[in-house]
């Protein structure tokens, strides 16, 4: 494990806990600790929850949770009721007083966050929230197939982002140098300058406003299109994003009079090659090149658009 990564994460943890006041004994200057406030949140969210489920949701020690529940009972914040299905289980719910305490903590917490971000621009707020969502997604190892993503046409600002992510990802994953940035930039500039909506199109995949992938169709010849700039963020791979983007591109070509689609890829891009093969593309040509600081084997693939069926993969 890279020690620099560890120190950066620990530094962020210290900064965040200090910034929102989590290191104080009482949460938001109330009579309750942060852990107790979390239990109030869970009780308000799920009235009638049992102690075992609270342990599973919060990761708290059952003995520690029992002490909190006893305190809440003493403060008249919580009621217990035996489960009709299992009398050994106690269903826990907030009293009206408990709901009032929870509501008060919510208002104070919302006010604190509003104050914290009040001087940020709209774009800074978007970046902040998207970054937090990314951290949560990565660390909780969410089931990728449960993610909801959308696909839209490109708009101002997307071209630069596609260039940036290609440069970053191909450098990190395959060791390409900055010459690759120039190659991608030239192609994207030509796409913009010669853009014909009847023959060219770019699609952007995103989750909650965060771009996670892209692909484009550009005219190669009168009846031949080229598939370009297919990329999916590492955290979203295996989620069907690449398949959906490819499907959109091929259907566009089919609907706009193209008879063939070509693409160039590299022999070690195994996931992309499998995607193309499953969609019906065939390997037509290979050539060795020394570009972008690497010795590579480039591959040309082709698809007869008439043979493509969206349901085939």
Pure H helices in 75-153: 96-117, 122-140
146 vs 97: which has the higher pLDDT: 97
The mean per-residue pLDDT over the stretch 182-201 comes to: 96
Long-range pairs for 46-55: beta carbons < 8 A, 24 or more residues apart:
47/93, 47/94, 48/81, 48/91, 48/92, 48/93, 49/91, 49/92, 49/93, 50/83, 50/89, 50/90, 50/91, 50/92, 51/90, 51/92, 52/89, 54/92
Q: pLDDT tens across 47-69, in order?
A: 999 988 899 888 889 899 999 99
The mean per-residue pLDDT over the stretch 75-88 comes to: 82
Q: How far is residue 49's CA from residue 247's CA, in Å, rounded to a whole number?
A: 44
> What is each CA distance from 170 to 79, 173, 266, in whole angstroms?
57, 5, 12
Q: What is the pLDDT of residue 18?
A: 82
Q: How far is residue 275's CA from residue 313's CA, in Å, rounded to a whole number?
A: 9
The answer to whether the beta carbons of residues 305 and 259 sit under 8 Å apart is: yes
Q: What is the pLDDT of residue 250?
A: 95
> What is each CA distance from 225 to 218, 219, 260, 263, 313, in whole angstroms?
6, 5, 6, 9, 21
Output the six-digit token pair for 176: 């390409």
The mean per-residue pLDDT over the stretch 255-274 comes to: 95
Strand bridging mode 201-207 / 150-153 = antiparallel
Domain 146-312: give its CATH superfamily.
Gcn5-related N-acetyltransferase (GNAT) (3.40.630.30)
The answer to whether the beta carbons of residues 233 and 165 sit under 8 Å apart is: yes
SS3 173: helix
* Sole residue written with tokens 């853009």: 195
pLDDT band at 82 (very low <50, low <70, confident <90, very high): confident
Domain ranges of the chain: 3-119, 146-312
CATH code for the structural domain at 3-119: 1.10.10.10
How many other C-beta atoms are found inside a 10 Å radius of the C-beta of residue 305? Answer: 20
Lowest mean pLDDT among 75-89, 128-142, 179-193: 128-142
The answer to whether the beta carbons of residues 191 and 202 sit under 8 Å apart is: yes
SS3 67: helix
Question: CA triplet 156, 232, 135: central angle to 5 degrees?
Answer: 90
Q: What is the pLDDT of residue 21?
A: 74
Lowest mean pLDDT among 115-124, 212-221, 282-291: 115-124
Q: Which of 214, 215, 198, 286 is nearest to 250 (CA)?
A: 215
Q: What is the pLDDT of residue 34?
A: 83
Q: What is the pLDDT of residue 141?
A: 58
pLDDT band at 132 (very low <50, low <70, confident <90, very high): confident
Q: What is the pLDDT of residue 83?
A: 76
With a cut of 70, say whether residue 5 has pLDDT above it.
yes
Q: What is the pLDDT of residue 163?
A: 97
Tally of CA atoms within 13 A in the half-sphere of 126 that contains its CB: 8
What is the residue-averaged pLDDT of the chain? 89
């Amino acid at each position: 494990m890279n020690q620099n990564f560890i120190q950066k994460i620990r530094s962020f943890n210290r900064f965040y806990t200090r910034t929102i006041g989590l290191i104080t004994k009482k949460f938001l200057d109330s009579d309750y600790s942060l852990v107790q406030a979390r239990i109030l949140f869970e009780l308000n969210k799920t009235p009638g929850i049992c102690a075992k489920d609270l342990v599973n949701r919060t990761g708290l020690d059952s003995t520690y949770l029992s002490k909190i529940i006893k305190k809440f009972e003493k403060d008249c914040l919580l009621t217990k009721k035996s489960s009709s299905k299992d009398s050994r289980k106690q269903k826990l719910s907030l009293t009206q007083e408990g709901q009032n305490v929870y509501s008060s903590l919510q208002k104070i917490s919302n006010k604190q966050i509003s104050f914290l971000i009040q001087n940020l621009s709209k774009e800074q707020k978007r970046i902040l929230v998207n970054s937090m969502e990314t951290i949560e997604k990565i660390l909780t190892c969410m089931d990728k197939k449960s993610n909801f993503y959308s696909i839209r046409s490109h708009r101002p600002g997307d071209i630069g982002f596609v260039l940036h992510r290609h440069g970053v990802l191909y450098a990190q994953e395959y060791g390409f140098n900055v010459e690759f940035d120039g190659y991608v930039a030239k192609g994207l500039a030509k796409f913009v300058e010669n853009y014909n909506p009847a023959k060219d199109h770019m699609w952007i995949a995103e989750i909650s406003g965060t771009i996670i992938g892209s692909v484009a169709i550009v005219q190669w010849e009168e009846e031949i299109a080229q598939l370009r700039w297919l990329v999916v963020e590492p955290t979203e791979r295996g989620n069907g994003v690449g398949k959906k983007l490819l499907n959109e591109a091929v259907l566009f070509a089919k609907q706009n009079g193209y008879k063939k689609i070509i693409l160039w890829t590299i022999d070690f891009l195994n996931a992309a090659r499998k995607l193309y093969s499953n969609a019906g593309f065939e390997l037509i040509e290979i050539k060795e090149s020394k570009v972008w600081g690497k010795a590579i084997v480039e591959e040309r693939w082709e698809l007869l658009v008439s043979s493509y069926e969206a349901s085939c993969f």
